[in-house]
Amino acid sequence: MKNFYALFVLFPICFWAQDSKIDSLQNLFSKAKTTESKLELLDRINEISDLPDAILSTQKGVYLSAKAKDKSWMPKFQEMHGRNFANSLELDSARLYFDQALKGYTAIGDKKGMATTNFKIAWVLKKRGDLKAAMQCDLKALKLMEELGDKAGIAGANNRISHDLGFQERYGEALAQAEKNIAFTKANNLETELMYAHIAAGDATIHVNRFVETFDHFTKALELGKKLNMHAATMVDLHNSVGNANKKLKRYKAAVAHYETALKFAQESGYTNGLGTVSANLGEINMLLGNYPKALEYHLKTLEISEKSGDLQNLTENYSNTSKVYEKLGNYPKALEFQRKTLKIRDSISKIESDKAMSEMLTKYQSEKKEATIAAQHEQLSNQRLVNWLVGGFVILLLGFLVFGYRSYRARTISNKLLEAKNAENELLMKEIHHRVKNNLELVKSLIALQSAHIEDSATKEAMIESQNRVQSMGIIHQKLYQGTNLGSIEMKDYFANLSEGILDSFNAEDRIEIEFAMENLELDIDTAVPIGLIVNELLTNSLKYAFPDNSEGKINISLTKDNLRELVLVVSDDGVGKALGAISKGTGFGTQLVQLLTIQLNGVMHENSENGTQTSFRFKTKMAA
């Protein structure tokens, strides 16, 4: 079992946002006339954006390339979008887009794209604990790189295979592979892959207790990283690795310095994967230094990240070290709980090691519990004799009340703790459900987008876009639920802002239509938020389609308030051309029917005013979130 935490195979991405350059590129994007120009600019924006903005840029790229049916750009943006999700540890979404990218590259015979995507699929598989399938993907990528004669790609594949051998505890083979790759990269002047080859060699030597060599390899890798001005994610990896080497050499002060530098890089760049790994190492070194409360703080933070992402590969070690900290703190029930989790998760990804440590811990806990029970019984007997001698039956009766009260209190305490644990488990399950629903809705939206890209009829294509927006309006709600702290409610102003951004993007109207939100923060329960979101989605869509002809500029106002009668008042207005009295409705009328049905569902009434644009208002007799 490993006794250190390493980051294996990072996905390169620039985590340092360059604001002025991004603003310049965004300005060029808004003025770009062709789809090809927009896609090229989005590619450049992605490479210099921090992770949240990078996800938005690649999402636009996925949509625009699909809309243009560009078979060259589509898999590239799918691969980039998956990479951004992977760096956020959203592994399900990452795998979805990697699979789409691999299919797209295969269809056009792009072997380089097929190889790089196989690398990334292998990374996700390692995170999921499927080491055999991961190595198969890395070997496929190596074969493709060899067919292309791509020396940098061949070196990258060999570095990954060295890591694969290490994860299977074949450390001698892993080291031989890494040393061979060091010679190859030096001979071909491949400094970036040489850096990764030193990392692979360091990871192998640390497992066979050749710590001086480990320090030498990791230090050379760090020097190369600084020379090459590597991105933040790689600098997290490099400082973390040097910290591991110093820890093994018992240079704890130097190790802490490198870990804290790595943690700073990870926090400032929003690099979730690195944040979890470095927190784990800080937890372990604080344990070595005897600072157990601080160690527990870091390990619990690591567990929060690993459990949320489903990172099975590191969960085994995370649970094990958390168990050890609890044991040092004398909390043997918690130590035993996490040791059991360790064995359970290890069994799901590899062989189960000896359970001797668990047995010893259980024996120690049971022995101390037995001694405490015996001591309590002796004390109770002694007190009882004293009470009988002094005050007789009165005190015995009082003691009976005390015992009853203690047992009742203890029973209530145990019951409350069980309820708290169950509530926490249910909350985690609910967040997972909302996360999966959001991912499924995102998949549905992507499928509709792909289908609409093949449709020529403009009316049908408009209907498909409207369907995408309806799915998106529901998906945003589930995203807010699993990301927020209150699983029962949605903050509507922020929700409207996210919804409006997506709809404006789908109509390419960001530069000419301004949307204002004249409202305070207001939380609603999900049963109310979903239909109101769909109503606003329909009204925004109608305004963008009909209120501003010939790509004219305009403004849309949205407000949702609560009046003194505890009724919800929703108003959506625009300063467009308005609607003539008695004019025939445009479109299919489905959106209007949907709004009417949702208004009835919320026990509401609707009023429409077409003076100076169009204003649609609603009053709903419903409840706000608690």
Q: What is the mean pLDDT of residues 539-558?
A: 90
The SS3 assignment for 11 reads coil
Neighbours of 172 (CB within 10 A): 11
Report domain 115-230's class.
mainly alpha
Residue 184: what pLDDT?
95
Residue 216: what pLDDT?
96
Q: Which amino acid is at 525?
A: D
Give the range among 3-12, 60-69, 574-583 with minimum mean pLDDT: 3-12
Task: Please determine, for residue 411, whether its predicted confidence score (pLDDT) is greater than 80.
Answer: no
Residue 483: what pLDDT?
67
Give the range among 49-63, 350-364, 460-474 with minimum mean pLDDT: 350-364
Q: What is the mean pLDDT of residues 109-136?
A: 90
Rounded percentage of the chain residues whose pLDDT exceeds 90: 34
Residue 567 burial (C-beta neighbours within 10 Å; 0-12, 13-18, 19+): middle
Q: How confident is the model at residue 425 (pLDDT cuts 50, 70, 90)?
A: low
Q: Are 58 and 11 in contact (CB under 8 A)?
A: no
In the sheet where 554-562 sits, what is the strand order? 513-517, 554-562, 568-574, 614-620, 604-609
How far, in Å, CA of 346 to CA of 334, rounded? 18
Residue count (the chain): 626
Residue 349: what pLDDT?
53
What tokens were used for 363? Answer: 């024996």
Task: Please determine, for residue 616, whether its predicted confidence score (pLDDT) is greater than 80.
Answer: yes
Residue 242 burial (C-beta neighbours within 10 Å; 0-12, 13-18, 19+): buried
624: Cβ–Cβ under 8 A, 6 or more apart, which residues? 522, 523, 524, 525, 528, 562, 566, 568
How far, in Å, CA of 105 to CA of 100, rounded? 9
Residue 435: what pLDDT?
66
Residue 371: what pLDDT?
64
Tokens 């790689």 -> residue: 234
pLDDT, tens digit, for every residue of 465-498? Answer: 777 777 876 777 767 665 666 667 888 898 899 8
Fold of the domain spanning 12-109: 1.25.40
User: If we measure between CA atoms, which residue out of 82, 12, 68, 16 comes closest to residue 40?
Assistant: 68
User: If we measure between CA atoms, which residue out of 541, 557, 539 comes closest to residue 596?
Assistant: 539
Neighbours of 28 (CB within 10 A): 15
- Report the first-to-last Cα separation within the chain, whole angstroms: 48
Give the range among 218-227, 230-239, 249-258, 514-523 with minimum mean pLDDT: 230-239
How far, in Å, CA of 231 to CA of 229, rounded? 7
Task: Please determine, for residue 392, whether its predicted confidence score (pLDDT) is greater than 50.
Answer: yes
How far, in Å, CA of 563 to CA of 412, rounded? 42
- The CATH number assigned to the domain with range 233-305 reads 1.25.40.10
For the chain, the structural domain boundaries read 12-109, 115-230, 233-305, 446-620
* Parallel/antiparallel/unpaired status of strands 523-525 and 489-491: antiparallel
Whether CATH 3.50.80.10 fits 446-620: no
Of 143 and 352, more confident: 143
Q: What is the mean pLDDT of residues 146-171?
A: 89
Mean pLDDT of the chain: 81
Q: Are 82 and 120 in contact (CB under 8 A)?
A: yes
pLDDT, tens digit, for every residue of 304-341? Answer: 887 776 666 677 778 888 888 888 888 988 888 888 88
pLDDT, tens digit, for every residue of 230-250? Answer: 878 788 989 999 999 999 999
Q: Which amino acid is at 612?
A: N
Give the range among 107-111, 191-195, 246-250, 544-548 with minimum mean pLDDT: 544-548
What tokens were used for 246? Answer: 């110093």
CA dist 525 to 517, 565, 602, Å?
Answer: 20, 18, 12
Q: Are 5 and 317 in contact (CB under 8 A)?
A: yes
Backbone angles phi, psi at 353, to 5 degrees: -80, 180
Beta bridge partners of 571: 559, 617
Task: Please determine, for residue 577, whether its predicted confidence score (pLDDT) is greater than 90.
Answer: no
Same fold, 115-230 and 233-305: yes
Highest mean pLDDT: which of 42-51, 205-214, 577-586? 205-214
Rounded percentage of the chain residues whose pLDDT exceeds 70: 79
What tokens were used for 483? Answer: 């990301």
